């Protein structure tokens, strides 16, 4: 399982980081970077981050 952030959609709201700080980091401009990969199951915090992103920039493969 892999978490992706569409850099063209991400607008730097940081809601994903608020919801799942162990999974997302922010770059110097406040845009999201997924830092943890390879979950066997989707953690609840990641579901919350996906739902919280107003740009629908987060996808899970």
- Answer for the pair 3, 49: CB distance below 8 angstroms, yes or no: no
Q: Shortest gap between Cβ of 6 and ligand SF4 (angstroms)?
A: 8
CB-nearer residue toward ligand SF4: 1 or 33: 33
| Tally of CB atoms within 10 A around 12 | 12
State the CB neighbour count (10 A cutoff) for residue 49: 25
Place of tokens 């608020």: 18
Please, which of residues 21-50 interact with ligand SF4 by CB under 6 A? 31-32
Q: Which is nearer to ligand SF4, 29 or 38 (CB)?
A: 29
Which stretches of the chain bind ligand SF4, using CB under 6 A? 5, 10-16, 31-32, 53, 55, 57-58
């Amino acid at each position: 399982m892999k978490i992706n952030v569409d850099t063209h959609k991400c607008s730097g709201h940081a809601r994903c980081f608020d919801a799942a700080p162990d999974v997302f980091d922010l770059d110097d401009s406040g845009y999201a970077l997924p830092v943890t990969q390879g979950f066997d199951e989707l953690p609840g915090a990641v579901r919350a981050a996906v739902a919280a992103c107003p740009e629908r920039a987060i996808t899970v493969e």
